[in-house]
């Protein structure tokens, strides 16, 4: 997975009834876009270090416009 500052991360739930989580990448640990990422989550605005798993997708900033 590759993400950069400004990209969005969408984490789909693996449990029925749980909403997906969406956040914005605010910092990348690796210059090439590798994880971990510091993400600001939309649901409550908190930031956290995020290590992606199989249920997440990156929407690149250029594709959002």
Mean pLDDT of the chain: 91
Per DSSP, 61 falls in state H
Closest CA to 50 of 13, 31, 25, 14: 25
Do the domain assignments include residue 45?
A: yes
When pLDDT is averaged across residues 7-32 and rounded to a whole number, the result is 91
Do the domain assignments include residue 2?
A: no
| Neighbour count for residue 34 (Cβ, 10 Å) | 13
Counted domains in the chain: 1
Do the domain assignments include residue 3?
A: no
Backbone angles phi, psi at 8, to 5 degrees: -110, 145
* Token pair for 32: 């090439």
When pLDDT is averaged across residues 39-56 and rounded to a whole number, the result is 93
Do the domain assignments include residue 37?
A: yes
Going by pLDDT thresholds of 50, 70 and 90, the confidence category of residue 65 is low
Going by pLDDT thresholds of 50, 70 and 90, the confidence category of residue 58 is very high
Per DSSP, 26 falls in state E
């Amino acid at each position: 997975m590759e993400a950069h500052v400004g990209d969005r991360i969408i984490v789909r739930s693996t449990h029925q009834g749980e909403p997906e989580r969406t956040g914005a990448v605010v910092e990348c640990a690796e210059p090439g876009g590798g994880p971990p990422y510091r993400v600001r989550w939309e649901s409550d605005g908190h930031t956290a270090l995020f290590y992606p798993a199989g249920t997440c997708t990156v929407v690149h900033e250029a594709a959002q416009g």
